[in-house]
Amino acid sequence: MIERINGLLEEIKNSTAANADELEALRLKYLSKKGIVNDLMAQFREVPAEQKREVGVKINELKNAAQEHFNSLKELLANKEEEQCEIDLTRPSSPTVLGTRHPLSIVRNEIVDIFARLGFSIANGVEVEDDWHVFSSMNFAEDHPARDMQDTFFVEAHPDIILRTHTSSVQSRVMETSQPPIRIIAPGRVYRNEAISYRAHCFFHQLEGLYVDKNVSFTDLKQVLLLFAQEMFGKDTKIRLRPSYFPFTEPSAEMDISCNICGGKGCPFCKNTGWVEILGCGMVDPNVLELCGIDSKEYSGYAFGMGIERITNLKYQVKDLRLFSENDVRFLKLFESAN
């Protein structure tokens, strides 16, 4: 029996396992319930008494040797597996998910770029404004309906403090603190107390323009706006100015561009007129210049204001204004390529 165990010891020492299946086969052969070690233990009863001690020690030696060898083979296999899944630095990484610029930001940046090339710089105002900058300095009569609760959000504790209803308030902020030549644009958010629907929102975005200098004429205004329209909507774009009324400009006009969907032929988008309205403009009313501390005998100026949502709708045909403020990534992702 001793000899047999010695043979088994040798056998165990030389056994190998190339994979988990082979390792399991070894375990079954030597260490399982029906394995060789247990089998020897069962035979131990028949060993003559005088050999019991020696055989007992030998069986134990075999059991320990089998267990140890099994353990070391198991570790070897685990290390091998780990080696195989070491980091491969040459593999391409998983793609990084990039955010997209908001369509209103894309269009605002585009408008700003066009006017920056014409020498306009950006002026900033404030969204929580006072009545003076939004209305009084802009030549709104005391009883003008735009001051009505319907349109204006009042900041409760101060009847004089309101959320600006247009970016024209930046005109007076700039004119009060600087003298001509003034050539600014002011993009920003404005607020009006409107019920939210697909075509109206309680906040939206505008971009204001103001140019004040000596001898500024309506021709200058028209030329700058034509250039803007063609840069924004394409070289073949035509413009048309219709007389209008704003308290802060005299004369005032609304500007249409030839419909950029049908090229002016007439389609449902332009209600078959071939024209779509894009902004309000005019010569700065001398009253406004005076109210803001600029000599209206020496200087004249023009101003214009446009809705950024409106321009974005014309460019991208977004049918529901609410999409702009819902942050639905499915909508925002549509503008990935325009970034």
Residue among 143, 132, 280 nearest 207 (CA): 280
Residue with smaller CB distance to ligand DAH, 252 or 260: 252
Residue from 282, 288, 289, 308 in contact with ligand DAH (CB under 6 A): 282
Spell 38-49 as b/e; 16+ CB within 10 A means b: eebeeeeeebee
166 contacts ligand DAH (rule: CB under 6 A): yes
161-163/182-191 β-pairing: unpaired
Residue with tokens 């399991």: 24
Least Å from the CB of residue 307 to ligand DAH:
8
Residue from 40, 303, 311, 318 in contact with ligand DAH (CB under 6 A): 303
Residue with smaller CB distance to ligand DAH, 255 or 259: 255
Least Å from the CB of residue 235 to ligand DAH:
25
Q: For residues 177 and 175, what is the distance between their CA atoms, to the nearest angstrom?
A: 5
305 contacts ligand DAH (rule: CB under 6 A): yes
Least Å from the CB of residue 306 to ligand DAH:
7
Contact predicate 223/256, CB 8 Å: no
Residue from 280, 309, 310, 311 in contact with ligand DAH (CB under 6 A): 280
Least Å from the CB of residue 297 to ligand DAH:
21
End-to-end CA distance of the chain: 84
Q: Per-residue contact track with ligand DAH, 224 to 263, x per CB under 6 A?
A: ----------------------x--x--------------
Residue with smaller CB distance to ligand DAH, 37 or 190: 190
Question: Which residues share a beta bridge with 246?
Answer: 249
Residue with smaller CB distance to ligand DAH, 62 or 137: 137
Residue among 281, 271, 275 nearest 256 (CA): 275
Residue with smaller CB distance to ligand DAH, 66 or 224: 224
Backbone angles phi, psi at 254, to 5 degrees: -115, 140
Residue with smaller CB distance to ligand DAH, 97 or 149: 149
Least Å from the CB of residue 305 to ligand DAH:
2
Residue with smaller CB distance to ligand DAH, 180 or 305: 305
Residue from 129, 208, 277, 285 in contact with ligand DAH (CB under 6 A): 208
Tally of CB atoms within 10 A around 92 = 5
> Considering only 151-159, 230-238, 301-309, 315-323, which stretch makes contact with ligand DAH by CB under 6 A?
301-309
Residue with smaller CB distance to ligand DAH, 26 or 190: 190
Residue from 304, 308, 312, 313 in contact with ligand DAH (CB under 6 A): 304
Tally of CB atoms within 10 A around 299 = 20
Please give the C-alpha separations between residue 182 and each of 42, 69, 176, 189, 214, in angstroms, as whole numbers. 107, 89, 11, 22, 10
Task: Enumerate residues 6+ apart whose C-beta is below 8 A from 291.
Answer: 136, 137, 139, 172
162 contacts ligand DAH (rule: CB under 6 A): no
Residue among 120, 116, 107, 129 nearest 176 (CA): 129
Under the rule (CB under 6 A), what is the footprint of ligand DAH?
A: 166, 168, 208, 246, 249, 280-282, 303-305
